[in-house]
Structures are given as structure tokens and as C-alpha cells.
Amino acid sequence: MIRYALKCPEGHRFESWFRDAAAFEALAGAGHLACPDCGSSEIAKSLMAPQVRPARTAAAAPAGETGEGALAPETARERALAEMRRKVEAEADYVGLSFAREARAIHDGSKPARPIYGEAKPADAIALIEDGVPVAPLPFAPTRKVN
């Protein structure tokens, strides 16, 4: 897998993952990529540098902070998502792969109500929704899963 920083002719910047460089070229050449802001299918790779932080700085930085590197939030949407992430991580308990079990236990009253977030297999998430358990996907991966 490879992650590319991408841009459209309107100057909107975003990122996406691809199986390899050939997969990006095939999708871009066929017009199957689109800017999430304006919908343009003229997508090009943008200059991207790895975000590397010395261990001392990483230990002192709050969880979820991206610093001033290439991945720092630039658009209003990116800033809103970063704020949402900070709020979820500050106010909810991360339950990891136990999310479906914990959400169901909270819903049926066998565990005390509290805000949680974590990870669930698609089939487990669908089962929760079908059973009336109020869940929603988050537009980011938990900090603990980010390399």
C-alpha cells in the first residue's frame, strides 16, 4: 500500500491510499479519482514528505497532534476533522476491537453508559445497527493505529 498526497486543478489537497503506483496511474488515467471538494477528476500527485518527528518531540506532543508537517490541517474541513478527533479522544474511552461487545453491553444496560469508540468488523457494525444500537463510523483511524 502507498499513500499519495493529491491535488486537483482548483488547488484542493487531499490524501488517498493505493495498492501501488500502477494502481494510482490506472485509476487516474481512467478518470476514476475525484476531488472530495469540487468533484474534479483531474487528479495529480502532489509533493509529499514523510512526517518524521524526533522521539523527544513525539513524547511531549499531545496525542493526535500532527505538527507543522505535510499532514497539518490546511482546509476548514481538515481542521474540523482534527477538532472532532481531539474531542472524541478526550471525551470517550477507546475500547479497541471490543467495540461491538461494549456497545451492545451499554445498550442493553449490563454495563454503565459512557461514550466509547473503537473498531468493529463491518458485519458486527451492521448487526449493531440492525439491533437498534446507536453507532456511527468515525472519519479517522484511532491514534493508536497510526504509524
Q: How much is the average pLDDT of 95-105?
A: 94
Q: What is the pLDDT of residue 132?
A: 94
**pLDDT tens digits, residue range 34-81?**
998 898 999 999 877 666 666 554 444 454 444 444 566 678 888 888
Select the more confidently predicted residue: 144 or 124. 124
Q: Are 114 and 138 in contact (CB under 8 A)?
A: no
* pLDDT higher than threshold 80 for residue 133: yes
Answer whether 0.75 is exceeded by the pTM.
no
Radius of gyration of the chain (CA): 18
Helical packing angle, 99-108 and 122-130, nearest 10°:
10
Q: How is the chain split into domains, by residue range?
A: 2-45, 76-137
Q: Are 53 and 61 in contact (CB under 8 A)?
A: yes
Q: What is the pLDDT of residue 2?
A: 85
Q: How much is the average pLDDT of 24-43?
A: 90
Q: Which three cell numbers stand for residue 54?
A: 524526533
Q: What CA–CA distance (Å, rounded) separates 5 from 52? A: 16
Q: What is the pLDDT of residue 71?
A: 60
